Amino acid sequence: MDATARKARKAAVGTALPHDSAHLHVSGRAAYTDDLPEPRDLLHVAVGMSAKAHARLRSIDLSDVLDAEGVVDVCLAADIPGENNCGPIVHDEEILAADTVEYVGQAIFAVAARTVEQARRAAQLAKIEYEELEPILDPLAAVEKDSFVLPSETLTRGDPAAAITGAPRRLQRRITIGGQDQFYLEGHISMCTPQEDGGLLVYSSTQHPDEVQHLVAKATARAAKDVVCICRRIGGAFGGKESQAATIACIAALMTVRTGRSCKLRLDRDVDMIMTGKRHDFVVDYDVGFDETGRIRGIDFSFASRCGISADLSGPVNDRMMFHSDNAYFLDNVNIESHRCKTNTVSNTAFRGFGGPQGMFAIEYAIDDIARTLGMDPLEVRRRNYYGVGERDVTHYGQTVEDNILDLVTDKLETDADYRRRRAAVREFNRANTVLKRGIALTPVKFGISFTSTHLNQAGALVHVYRDGTVHLNHGGTEMGQGLYIKVAQVVADELGVPVSAIRINAADTSKVPNASATAASSGSDMNGKAAQIAARKIRTRLTEFAARHFSVNESAVDFGDGRVSAGTETLDFAELVQLAWFERVSLSATGFYKTPKINYDRSTSSGRPFFYYAYGAAVTEVVVDTLTGENRIVRVDIVHDCGDSLNPAMDLGQVEGGFVQGAGWLTSEELWWNDAGELQTHAPSTYKIPTCSDLAPEFNVTLLENAANREDTIYRSKAVGEPPFMLAISVFHAIRDAIATDGNPLPALDAPATPEAILRAIEGMKP
């Protein structure tokens, strides 16, 4: 069925249905992990954390902790019955530090008590003697000392050195890009309940229940079959609960195993920010050669990222950074060096965009510098370097960009946002004003969709049809607010020709759908939508065969829609057909399995097709900056974004708006700051500033590209939307840069985040 036919049939797919839990969210009845009914014997867990950035643990005295009111038990590394590891890929991170602590906030012990307050208070009473060691606190120091969590990687195409030196013009710069805390509203949490005969049931606020199941099993010396992990919804994750939720679940499970009682660990905001990983901050050096038209001849990047104490997801995050340091631009002579620095700070992890934003930020900075050096409109330089169609279309990792719609998106946005006229008006404004300065920028996004580790691109689903014609839906994806569950329900509804209200959406549950990948890389609806469609289609096929037999018609004469089934001249309710089929012993339950086609990547040659397709978008942002204080406001944002044929335009719009605002926070106000002792000083909203409603642009126009069917065979030709819009916010940064650049000094050295302080520093730095 194409989009028009679906509309005629009142199909669910493509409709702007509200989030399935919207009515529960707004009335406070949506049950998050902490809202689940508490078992009678529940204990609350708190974590004792390292006070030092790098030290040997000389002695740990927990007698006062054990004596504290309400305390039932404590657990140290040595008490762990299984593997003391929560490293998801590389087994290099301890759940509880055994001999050495490597960052301030690292978990050393856990304590279980009757109330949350008792546990948290008791955790403060440990007497720990440290033998301090030299810490490494930033990526550059790590590079100097060869301190890495993983080997450095390089990706080279052409002859960048020769291209750069042979180019008519050349620029070099070092930029720093700040990290970011995920700042989900619901902090990390897990509750574990003992089951009979050694079994464990783990409720976890996790993007990856399968990994929680496996890591809990290993830590508690069990097999995967003995552990079930369930997650109905997450109160925001943004990548922060992809790997690191497992640590929290492991600690809760270890206390459950020790005490034989249900245990819940909920981190408060400060502990959450101190103890769990964030977006990687980077230091980037680039060296670019270009010609007078603004075209890049050759570019060399050296990236150093703060990975913290362990590999966690830093390998794939940095890989994605390397894959995205082209953004929308064809780089035929390029060298990208990536250092994955080991520092004595919390282990950094996934965050929306997964390295992509940092790579794209770097190339956008270089492009902007080129334009300003040549006195050109940066948009002209962007366009001059865009990937071509049918030429200049192979990425530096060997994938051909087959679906390039950069010109289409840019043309539309340039017109819709009235870019040219407004750019002239901004120049006019700046000539007339000395203190307030305006700036405007248009930046594009091209973002690759798929996990870069090919094997992760698989998904499963489980669909039951009950005798009354209602449907029970499970798949391996997790709901973190992004609207995945309603989208998949829409797909199943259309497959069975029933309304969405006939479907019960169920929690992610490792006992129903096994071996699921994390809900990440924006691929949740692509993969789980297809898996659920395959499962539902199996049932529909059986029902079709049955109806054809039963009513003596051809299978082609059987049709499903609007809760009804027609078979030749007969029509009946879906529930009636189901009842008849059940009576004739037709199976009404099925699993679905999907693996993303066409993708492959060979690490040894750094080439292949890591991405099934690309998602595109572009944004124009206009800002006004007070050049005496550095304060700034976004005054208008225009976005054109490509969601393919949207499964649900309401959800997609929310993702575009939310992603953009979160990206703007990353690049303007959210600043992570560690002191010289390696203590994170910004661990609460009082010191760490995320955007609020009042930071929203008063004019915020978002258009989802229409008639933009994905050329690849994705679920209803839609495109993934979770992460790509985040990077539209790079336009905010360049609008600020545009505002503070002057004719005499077109190249302000502005670092990210562009806080008022950073803006003032850049303005000061330009003074002669």
List of residues contacting ligand MOS (CB under 6 A):
207, 239, 242, 350-352, 354, 520-521, 723
Q: What is the DSSP string of 207-247?
A: S-HHHHHHHHHHHTT--GGGEEEEES--S--TTTTTSTHHH
Instruction: Enter the tokens of residue 150.
Output: 């993983």
Comparison of 248 and 741: residue with beta carbon closer to ligand MOS: 248
Please report, for residues 69, 400, 410, 672, 710, the alpha-carbon distance to residue 404 in angstroms, rounded to integers and kept in the order given: 64, 10, 11, 36, 11
Determine, following the binding rule CB under 6 A, whether residue 238 of this chain makes contact with ligand MTE: yes
Minimal distance, residue 179 CB to ligand MTE, in Å: 15
Q: Is 716 helix (H, G, I), strand (E, B) or coil?
A: helix
Minimal distance, residue 722 CB to ligand MTE, in Å: 3
Stretch that binds ligand MTE, among 74-82, 324-332, 394-402, 474-482 (CB under 6 A): 474-482
Instruction: Enter the tokens of residue 429.
Output: 């404004």
Minimal distance, residue 447 CB to ligand MTE, in Å: 11
Instruction: State the Cα–Cα distance between residues 613 and 714, nearest whole angstrom.
Output: 9
Minimal distance, residue 184 CB to ligand MOS, in Å: 11
Determine, following the binding rule CB under 6 A, whether residue 236 of this chain makes contact with ligand MTE: yes
Determine, following the binding rule CB under 6 A, whether residue 471 of this chain makes contact with ligand MTE: no
Instruction: List the one residue from 157, 278, 342, 352 that touches ligand MTE (CB under 6 A).
Output: 352
Determine, following the binding rule CB under 6 A, whether residue 187 of this chain makes contact with ligand MTE: no
Q: Is 553 helix (H, G, I), strand (E, B) or coil?
A: coil
Q: Which does 517 bind (CB under 5 to 8 A by kind): ligand MTE, ligand MOS, none?
A: none
Comparison of 477 and 678: residue with beta carbon closer to ligand MTE: 477
Minimal distance, residue 410 CB to ligand MOS, in Å: 26
Comparison of 642 and 738: residue with beta carbon closer to ligand MTE: 642
Comparison of 352 and 641: residue with beta carbon closer to ligand MTE: 352
Comparison of 239 and 298: residue with beta carbon closer to ligand MTE: 239
Stretch that binds ligand MTE, among 365-373, 477-485, 575-583, 630-638 (CB under 6 A): 477-485
Residues in the chain, total:
768
Determine, following the binding rule CB under 6 A, whether residue 480 of this chain makes contact with ligand MTE: yes
Instruction: State the Cα–Cα distance between residues 296 and 180, nearest whole angstrom.
Output: 30
- b or e along 223-234 (b: 16 or more beta carbons within 10 Å of the residue's beta carbon)? eeebbbbbbbbb
Minimal distance, residue 452 CB to ligand MOS, in Å: 11
Minimal distance, residue 316 CB to ligand MOS, in Å: 9
**Is residue 687 within 8 Å of residue 670, measured between CB atoms?**
no
Size of interface with ligand MTE, in residues (CB under 6 A): 21
Minimal distance, residue 757 CB to ligand MTE, in Å: 28
Using a 10 angstrom Cβ sphere, with 0-12 exposed, 13-18 middle and 19 or more buried, the burial of residue 263 is buried
**Catalytic-residue membership of 723:** yes
Instruction: List the one residue from 14, 82, 316, 524 that touches ligand MTE (CB under 6 A).
Output: 524
Residues near 704 by Cβ (< 8 Å), separated by ≥ 6?
Answer: 641, 642, 643, 646, 649, 652, 653, 656
Minimal distance, residue 232 CB to ligand MOS, in Å: 18
Residues near 27 by Cβ (< 8 Å), separated by ≥ 6?
Answer: none
Among 214, 303, 155, residue whose Cα is nearest residue 610: 155
Comparison of 236 and 316: residue with beta carbon closer to ligand MTE: 236
Using a 10 angstrom Cβ sphere, with 0-12 exposed, 13-18 middle and 19 or more buried, the burial of residue 592 is buried
Q: Which does 135 bind (CB under 5 to 8 A by kind): ligand MTE, ligand MOS, none?
A: none
Instruction: Enter the tokens of residue 285.
Output: 């050096």
Minimal distance, residue 504 CB to ligand MTE, in Å: 20
Four-point Cα dihedral 158, 341, 728, 365, nearest 10? -60
Site string for ligand MTE, 423-462 (x = CB under 6 A): ----------------------------------------
Residues 690-749 that bind ligand MTE (CB under 6 A): 720, 722-723
Determine, following the binding rule CB under 6 A, whether residue 596 of this chain makes contact with ligand MTE: no
Give residue number: closest CB to ligand MOS: 239
Q: What is the DSSP string of 694-710?
A: GGS-SEEEEEEPSS---
List, as own/partner pairs, every contact residues 577-583 make where C-beta atoms lie below 8 angstroms and the sequence separation is at least 24, other chains included: 577/469, 577/543, 577/546, 577/547, 578/465, 578/466, 578/467, 578/468, 578/469, 578/543, 579/467, 579/468, 579/469, 580/546, 580/550, 581/542, 581/543, 581/546, 581/547, 582/467
The distance between the two most distant Cα atoms of the chain, rounded to a whole number of Å, is 90
Of 102, 414, 495, 723, which residue is the catalytic one? 723
Give residue number: closest CB to ligand MTE: 524
Pairing of strands 127-132, 471-475: unpaired
Comparison of 352 and 609: residue with beta carbon closer to ligand MTE: 352
Comparison of 267 and 484: residue with beta carbon closer to ligand MTE: 484
Instruction: Enter the tokens of residue 623.
Output: 């800002």
**Is residue 314 within 8 Å of residue 90, measured between CB atoms?**
no
Minimal distance, residue 520 CB to ligand MOS, in Å: 3
Determine, following the binding rule CB under 6 A, whether residue 239 of this chain makes contact with ligand MTE: yes
Comparison of 287 and 670: residue with beta carbon closer to ligand MOS: 670
* 468 residue type, one letter: D
Instruction: State the Cα–Cα distance between residues 741 and 583, nearest whole angstrom.
Output: 76
**Is residue 107 within 8 Å of residue 275, measured between CB atoms?**
yes
Please report, for residues 239, 622, 661, 667, 671, the alpha-carbon distance to residue 689 in angstroms, rounded to integers and kept in the order given: 19, 21, 13, 11, 7
Instruction: State the Cα–Cα distance between residues 722 and 280, nearest whole angstrom.
Output: 19
User: In 10 A of CB 703, how many CB atoms?
Assistant: 17
Minimal distance, residue 723 CB to ligand MTE, in Å: 5
Comparison of 508 and 620: residue with beta carbon closer to ligand MOS: 508
Comparison of 94 and 242: residue with beta carbon closer to ligand MOS: 242
Comparison of 344 and 718: residue with beta carbon closer to ligand MOS: 718
Determine, following the binding rule CB under 6 A, whether residue 244 of this chain makes contact with ligand MTE: no
Determine, following the binding rule CB under 6 A, whether residue 655 of this chain makes contact with ligand MTE: yes
Determine, following the binding rule CB under 6 A, whether residue 357 of this chain makes contact with ligand MTE: no
Instruction: List the one residue from 202, 440, 520, 575 that touches ligand MTE (CB under 6 A).
Output: 520
Instruction: List the one residue from 385, 519, 591, 731 that touches ligand MTE (CB under 6 A).
Output: 519
Q: What is the DSSP string of 24-35?
A: HHHHT----GGG
**Is residue 183 within 8 Å of residue 690, measured between CB atoms?**
yes
Four-point Cα dihedral 650, 652, 657, 660, nearest 10? 180
Site string for ligand MTE, 481-500 (x = CB under 6 A): xx-x----------------
Tokens 């335009």 correspond to: 649
The secondary structure of residue 77, as a DSSP letter, is G
Q: What residues are annotated to the active site?
A: 723
Give me the residues that bind ligand MTE (CB under 6 A), please: 236-239, 352, 480-482, 484, 519-525, 655, 658, 720, 722-723
